[in-house]
Amino acid sequence: MESQIVILGSGTCVPSLLRNPSSFLMRTREENLLFDCGAGVMRRLLEAGVSIFDISHLFLSHFHPDHIGELAAFLFALKYPKPSPQKRKLTIFAGTGFSRFFEKLKGVYGHWITLPPDRLAVVELDTAGYDHFDTPFFQVTSLPVAHRPESLAYRVEDAAGRVLVYSGDSDDCDNLIKIADHADMLVCEAAYPDGQKVDGHLIPSLAGRIARAAAVRCLVLTHFYPACDAVDIEKQCRSTYNGPIVLARDLMRLTL
Ligand SMILES: [Zn+2]
Ligand SMILES: [Zn+2]
């Protein structure tokens, strides 16, 4: 069975009625993989028809609030009602330093966000290089990217051998080309338009150059600051990439 992608947020920290902070869902077999957890993600999941209790894996790209800001509320919400309708354990994946970050968060919220080990696990991935995690239904590879010391890009191969890669937030870097190698779909940030590049982020022509260098089959651009909605992002990306380009919109559904 093909894996399905639902864009939950195609935006940034800037409040927007159209674009939530960057996040998406990957449904593969019985597993529901959530990528990033910024403000409004639980509401978008409801709009997508998915309960928070159905999320089996949460992949955090880095600790900026637009990617992690709803984590405490998400865990708090998992505690109610009792007995819990949570069908499976939630495993959170994040880069080096997450355990410390999470302990500090628990220092603030205490038992409100503490779940027993049979309901929540944390996997801290290495940000020195490649790291891997295998499950019966998919395989995950991570590699650090150029944004924050804890920043990771994720490569997920489903049971059918289809590959999805998520850049997280990243500037131009060779690791993004390496991890995206021959991916079926690259969900890649293009935070600002060409001509308005900001350190730590990509622009459409650079995202296209990475997708071309990695021979990516389909490029999904996301994480759009408001300036992106005033220009032709696809045309800017087309200057460097010939394959299919999708401009993410909230609640857009894609097949991997
Ligand atoms: Zn960021
Ligand atoms: Zn961001």
Task: Report the relative pairing of strands 90-95 and 57-59 from DSSP bridges.
Answer: parallel
Q: Mean pLDDT of residues grouped by 10 in the chain (256 residues)?
A: 95 97 95 97 97 97 98 96 86 98 97 96 97 95 98 97 98 98 98 97 98 98 97 98 98 98
| Short-list 68, 5, 78, 83, CA closest to 37 | 68
pLDDT at 30: 86
Give the Cα separation of 198 and 201 in Å (integer): 6
Q: Which ligand is nearest to the CA of 20?
A: 2
Structural domains present in the chain? 4-255 (3.60.15.10)
pLDDT at 217: 98
Would you say 147 and 62 are in contact if contact means Cβ atoms under 8 Å apart?
yes
pLDDT at 81: 86
pLDDT at 176: 98
Q: Ligand 1 centroid to 203 CA: how many Å?
A: 14
CB-neighbour burial class of residue 2 (10 A; exposed 0-12, middle 13-18, buried 19+):
exposed
pLDDT at 87: 79
Would you say 4 and 254 are in contact if contact means Cβ atoms under 8 Å apart?
yes
Q: What angle do CA 103, 74, 35 make, to 5 degrees?
A: 90
Cα→Cα distances 8→19, 82, 161, 219, Å: 9, 27, 24, 17
Residue 38: alpha-carbon gap to chain centroid: 10
Q: Which ligand is nearest to the CA of 189?
A: 2
Give the Cα separation of 249 and 256 in Å (integer): 16
| Short-list 70, 28, 21, CA closest to 185 | 28
pLDDT at 124: 97
Q: Ligand 2 centroid to 160 CA: how many Å?
A: 30
Q: What angle do CA 205, 206, 211 make, to 5 degrees?
A: 95
pLDDT at 82: 82
Give the Cα separation of 140 and 129 in Å (integer): 14
Alpha helices in the chain (DSSP H): 41-47, 65-68, 71-78, 98-109, 174-179, 204-213, 233-238
pLDDT at 88: 84
Q: Ligand 1 centroid to 191 CA: how many Å?
A: 10
Q: Ligand 2 centroid to 192 CA: how many Å?
A: 11
What pTM does this model have?
0.97
